[in-house]
């Protein structure tokens, strides 16, 4: 028995159990007929003939006599491998137990063992790395202490940030990173300064913006301290000139003023606006910020004129205007003021 082409012995049999055969799938053989047990056949009661099964290219026959693609790693066969054949004197009960054992110890078992081994190796590697670098990492308490306290100073037409750089033993600061925004952190700008610096000037401050600033200590090994407490600054707008007055001399109406108070903005020019009606109909005169007076042309008689002046920046931004200065071009305190020949 089990000597026909493609057959191999599956179970030697005993006085109580018939001998069983199977087809040698390693050589491409499979059962011709459907057997009671898909893994083996009893020749005394069944047709155990085998035939040479042809699988497509890149496919191989499995212990279940199925053609499976060679890259299919998820398939787990139900039938045992060929190394199970020569186990003698196995009855039906033992056969089923051995079959179950083979299933447990098959490819699925190997993948589970591999996953466990990989997990243990990764744990050992990560633990080793942590132990190696632990002594070189500053503690989180020291990192928090390294956040300087920011202060803002607005003078001499500049906005300056300052802080106190405290040296802590064993902690090396490489540089400081200043982060600021004027639109709720949607867009941020950065300034990096050396570790020996204790202040910096903020460039290109825009008018009428609320700025927010923080500072971070940058350490070795790409570590950073926690950001400092946020400091805010309302940039406001350029101040208008002071003491706007109307002067009449030689039948000419002239405006005079004094320089505006200094803030972080330096005026590039002054804009004089005036009207004798309402501010929807006005005339404008632009003069250089070095000037302190301006002649007003084409004054009409018996009109009440309103004047105001504003500081303008280099990018044409116009600050808030001064308070109105009024002038009546006709009679004033019972006297006639003739501005025309």
pLDDT reported for residue 120: 87
Domain boundary among 39, 73, 104: 104
pLDDT of residue 273: 95
Query: How does DSSP classify residue 311?
Result: E
pTM: 0.51
- Domain identity same for 223 and 300: no
- Of 172, 147, 163, nearest to 225 (Cα)? 147
> Which residues fall within 8 angstroms of residue 30, CB to CB, at 6 or more apart?
23, 50, 51, 53, 61, 65
Q: Rounded CA gap, 171 and 137, in Å? A: 10
CATH number at 312 reads 2.60.40.10
Q: Residue 1 — very low, low, confident or very high, per pLDDT cuts 50/70/90?
A: confident
Helices (H) and strands (E) in the chain, counts: 3, 22
Q: Are residues 175 and 257 located together in one domain of the fold?
A: no
Could you tell me if 224 and 186 lie in one domain? yes
Provide the domain count of the chain: 3
3-class DSSP assignment, residue 110: helix
DSSP type of residue 330: S
Domain membership flag for residue 189: yes
- Looking at the structure, tell me whether residues 282 and 226 fall in a common domain: no
Query: Which residues make Cβ contacts (< 8 Å) with residue 269, sequence separation at least 6?
Result: 286, 287, 288, 289, 311, 312
Looking at the fold, whether 271 and 331 belong to one and the same domain comes out as yes
206 located within any domain: yes
Residue 310 lies in a domain: yes
**pLDDT confidence of residue 133:** 61
Size of the chain in residues: 341
Q: Are residues 82 and 167 in the same domain?
A: no
For residue 110, the model assigns a pLDDT of 56
Q: Tell me, what's the pLDDT at 74? A: 83
The answer, yes or no, to whether residue 96 has pLDDT greater than 70, is no
Q: Is the pLDDT of residue 138 over 50?
A: no
Asked whether residue 292 is assigned to any structural domain, the reply reads yes
State how far the Cα of 91 lies from the Cα of 95, in Å rounded to an integer: 6
pLDDT in tens, 191-245: 999 888 889 999 888 899 999 999 988 887 778 888 888 999 998 899 999 999 9
Asked if residue 114 belongs to a domain, the reply is no
Does residue 22 sit in the same domain as residue 93?
Answer: yes
Q: Where are the alpha helices (DSSP H) in the chain?
A: 92-104, 107-134, 140-145
Residue 206 sits in which domain range?
147-234
Q: To the nearest whole number, what is the mean pLDDT of the chain?
A: 81
Residues 165 and 195: beta-carbon distance below 8 Å: yes
User: Is the domain of 177 the same as that of 248?
Assistant: no
Q: Choose one of 212, 234, 256: the last residue of a domain.
A: 234
């Amino acid at each position: 028995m089990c000597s026909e082409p493609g057959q191999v012995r599956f179970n030697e049999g005993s006085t109580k159990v018939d001998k069983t055969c199977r087809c040698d799938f390693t050589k491409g053989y499979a059962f011709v007929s459907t057997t009671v047990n898909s893994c083996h056949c009893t020749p005394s009661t069944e047709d155990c003939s085998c035939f040479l099964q042809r699988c497509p290219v890149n496919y191989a026959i499995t212990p279940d006599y199925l053609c499976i693609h060679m890259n299919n790693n998820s398939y787990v066969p139900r039938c045992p491998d060929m190394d199970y054949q020569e186990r003698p004197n196995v009855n039906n009960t033992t056969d089923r137990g051995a079959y179950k054992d083979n299933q447990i110890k098959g490819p699925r078992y190997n993948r589970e063992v591999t996953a466990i081994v990989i997990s243990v190796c990764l744990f050992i590697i990560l633990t080793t790395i942590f132990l190696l670098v632990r002594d070189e990492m500053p503690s989180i308490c020291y990192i928090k202490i390294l956040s300087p306290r920011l202060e803002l100073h607005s003078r001499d037409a500049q906005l300056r940030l300052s802080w106190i750089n405290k040296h802590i033993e064993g902690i090396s600061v490489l540089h400081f990173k200043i982060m600021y925004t004027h639109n709720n952190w949607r867009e941020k700008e950065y300034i990096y300064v050396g570790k020996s610096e204790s202040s910096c000037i903020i460039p290109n401050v825009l008018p009428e913006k609320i700025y927010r600033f923080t500072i971070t200590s940058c350490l070795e090994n790409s570590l950073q301290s926690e950001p400092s407490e946020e400091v805010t600054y309302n940039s406001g707008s350029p101040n208008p000139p002071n003491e706007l007055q109307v002067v009449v001399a030689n039948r000419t109406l002239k405006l005079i003023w004094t320089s505006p108070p200094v803030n972080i903005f330096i005026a590039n020019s002054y804009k004089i606006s005036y009207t004798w009606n309402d501010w929807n109909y006005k005339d404008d005169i632009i003069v250089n910020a070095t000037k302190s007076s301006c002649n007003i042309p084409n004054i009409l008689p018996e009109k009440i004129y309103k004047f105001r002046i504003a500081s303008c920046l280099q990018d044409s931004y116009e600050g808030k205007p001064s308070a109105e200065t009024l002038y009546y071009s006709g009679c004033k305190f019972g006297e006639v003021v003739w501005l025309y020949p």
